[in-house]
Amino acid sequence: MTDSQPVTGPAMSKSAARAMILPLALAQFIASYAATNMNVAISSIAKDLGTNVLGIQTAITLFTLTMASLMIPGSKLTDIWGRKQCFIGGLIVYGVGALLALVAQSITLLVIGYSFLEGIGSALMIPPIYILVTVAFPDIKSRARYFGVVSGAGGLGAAAGPLIGGLITSAISWRASFGLQVVVVAWIVYLARSITDPPRPGSKPRFDLLGAILSAAGLFFVVLGLLQSRTYGFFVSRKDWSIGGSTVLISKGGVSPVWIYVAIGAAFLLWFFLHVRSAEKKGKDVLLALRLFRSRVANLGLGTQFIQWLILQGSFFVTSVYLQEVDGYNAVKTGLLLTPATAGILVASAAADRLAKRHPQRSLIIAGFLASVVGMVLLLALVRAHSGIVTWIPGLLLFGLGVGVMLTSSVNVVQSSFGEADQGDISGLSRSVSNLGSSFGTSLVGSILVAVTLPAGKPHAAALGTLAVISFIGLILAILLPRQRGET
């Protein structure tokens, strides 16, 4: 199934494996939690810091942009500094950022702590999580078990972020949420002493600074464009696009400025790939080797990852908006109603190793997409405005089970497609693709909810229907994955 020699290594005892996986899973949980919990506390934070809702939304956007832009450079540093050192260093940067956000008395300090330092810390600590799991466990089946734990922790953090954040904000303060992050990160740093980091083969590469700048700029503008779609729409601009609030560059009804941002990002990424190709011909170290894009298995696996995160974040977003706008739920009740989906993700992730022993990864990805599509169809068929909680459970549970099954399998397929020397590069690329999927999912859904002028509740159906269609595209990519040896 792989295009290069797979990662192999000595078997690890169960106690050593648990000691290693716990800090990795907790780190993935806290990073996913940070990406979603702020949304329920926007009004409280704005009032406390003497700013407006737009200022807090900007801080959240900058966190996403920082993390997405620096994920590939951050992963390359694992080859230079070492995976364990990069992981712990990222945690420390993240913890300092959370501490600054905890004591922030102005929007400026919140942006420095939350948006920049937590974003940089996430970009440093997330790639090593997946590299360490890949190099520490010798076969796909054992790797599936621990990818399941990490993926489950990430899914739980993303899904439970609004619920936990809402509860903490309501019971104590929004600051307590950052205080919780400081405590958890300190605990993770303590636990990380038990992590075993096998020596990386070969010499340490030099850091490609120009490549890092170009890739970061490209991803920054692409993600920024996707996020701007919530304001301007994807195709036709819903409002004037101006500079400084006075000079109108695009009038309402013109082409959405989203595509200007995306075009700028695409230009930087093209420049990045031309730079890498030129540097490789000269035998220089590059940020991201172009050979990674020659693996059919990895390319298809990355495609499934992109769509999985798109439908996960998109579906959670549209469900949350529906519950709050149509049914009048608050943030806490919304988080509680999403519990079936969260439970489905956790159950499927916990069963990842058993499923991997019985079924090929390709089959699990296909089954996951099928389950997710059926879950969306059940939501469309059963849920009506102000309908009972029981109408939500079948669709959300099946959707969560499907996502939990295929997230783990796709990560396993992608990471296992390359040898140990390429784990830093492929991990950063994989996380960047997942971030793009998440950003595109919420942006697409947000744009549909505003653009579709139908009776109450129907825009949400249009958004969910669109996500179901995109899931079918993911299913096709999964079917195109090459069969593994021994698969019938």
3-class DSSP state of 155: helix
Q: What average pLDDT does range 410-427 have in this prediction? A: 85
Closest to 339 in 3D by CA, of 162, 165, 188, 485: 162
Q: Which of the listed residues 169, 201, 233 is the one where a domain comes to its end? A: 201
Judge whether 6 lies within some domain. no
Instruction: Give me the torsion for CA of 449, 451, 457, 462, rounded to 10°.
Output: -80
Total number of residues shown for the chain = 488
Q: Which of the listed residues 150, 182, 201 is the one where a domain comes to its end? A: 201
Q: Are residues 34 and 151 in the same domain?
A: yes
pLDDT score, position 363: 92
Q: What average pLDDT does range 398-411 have in this prediction? A: 89
Judge whether 4 lies within some domain. no
Q: Are residues 310 and 453 in the same domain?
A: yes
Strand 241-243 to strand 247-250: parallel, antiparallel, or no bridges (unpaired)? antiparallel
Q: What average pLDDT does range 409-426 have in this prediction? A: 85
pLDDT score, position 1: 40
Percent of the chain at pLDDT > 90 equals 38
CA distance linking residue 200 with residue 173, whole number of Å = 44
CA distance linking residue 428 with residue 8, whole number of Å = 20
Closest to 184 in 3D by CA, of 32, 36, 26: 26
State which residues form the domain around 222. 208-286
Q: Are residues 357 and 378 in the same domain?
A: yes
Q: What is the CB neighbour count within 10 angstroms for residue 154?
A: 28
Q: Are residues 93 and 185 in the same domain?
A: yes
**Residue type for 131, please?**
I
CA distance linking residue 249 with residue 242, whole number of Å = 5
Q: Above 70 in pLDDT, residue 5?
A: no
User: Token pair 């904000």 is at which residue?
Assistant: 169
Q: Are residues 93 and 197 in the same domain?
A: yes
CA distance linking residue 356 with residue 371, whole number of Å = 17
Q: Are residues 440 and 299 in the same domain?
A: yes
pLDDT score, position 486: 47
CA distance linking residue 79 with residue 73, whole number of Å = 11
Q: Above 70 in pLDDT, residue 244?
A: no
pLDDT score, position 12: 64
pLDDT score, position 136: 84
Whether 87 contacts 93, CB under 8 Å? no
Q: Are residues 149 and 71 in the same domain?
A: yes
pLDDT score, position 166: 79
Q: Above 90 in pLDDT, residue 372?
A: yes
Q: Are residues 49 and 97 in the same domain?
A: yes
**Residue type for 195, please?**
I
CA distance linking residue 89 with residue 84, whole number of Å = 8
Tokens at 171, concatenated? 């019971």
Q: Above 90 in pLDDT, residue 395?
A: yes
Q: Which helix (H) or strand (E) holds 248?
A: strand 247-250
Q: What average pLDDT does range 300-315 have in this prediction? A: 91
Q: What average pLDDT does range 276-302 have in this prediction? A: 91
Q: Are residues 263 and 369 in the same domain?
A: no
Whether 79 contacts 427, CB under 8 Å? no
pLDDT tens, 148-195?
Answer: 888 878 877 877 787 788 788 888 888 999 999 999 999 999 999 888
Judge whether 276 lies within some domain. yes
pLDDT score, position 245: 64
Judge whether 162 lies within some domain. yes
Q: Are residues 328 and 192 in the same domain?
A: no
CA distance linking residue 163 with residue 36, whole number of Å = 10
DSSP state of 139: S
Distance (Å) of CA 44 to CA 99, 173, 323 = 18, 8, 20
pLDDT tens, 88-125?
Answer: 999 999 999 999 999 999 999 999 999 999 999 999 99
Percent of the chain at pLDDT > 70 equals 94
| Cα–chain center distance at 238 | 28
Q: Above 60 in pLDDT, residue 432?
A: yes
| Mean residue pLDDT across the chain | 85
| Band of residue 322 on the pLDDT scale cut at 50, 70, 90 | confident
Top-confidence residue, 364 or 164: 364
Judge whether 5 lies within some domain. no
Judge whether 7 lies within some domain. no
pLDDT score, position 86: 95
Q: What is the CB neighbour count within 10 angstroms for residue 4?
A: 16
Q: Which of the listed residues 201, 226, 260 is the one where a domain comes to its end? A: 201
DSSP state of 204: P
DSSP state of 285: -
Residue 376's CATH number: 1.20.1250.20
Judge whether 95 lies within some domain. yes
Q: Are residues 332 and 222 in the same domain?
A: no
Distance (Å) of CA 359 to CA 140, 204, 353, 366 = 11, 38, 10, 11
pLDDT tens, 75-87?
Answer: 999 989 999 999 9
Top mean-pLDDT range of 155-169, 264-278, 303-317:
264-278
CA distance linking residue 109 with residue 387, whole number of Å = 43
| Band of residue 453 on the pLDDT scale cut at 50, 70, 90 | low
Judge whether 2 lies within some domain. no
Distance (Å) of CA 293 to CA 3, 47, 273, 346, 407 = 11, 47, 11, 31, 20
Q: Are residues 248 and 124 in the same domain?
A: no
The domain total for the chain is 3
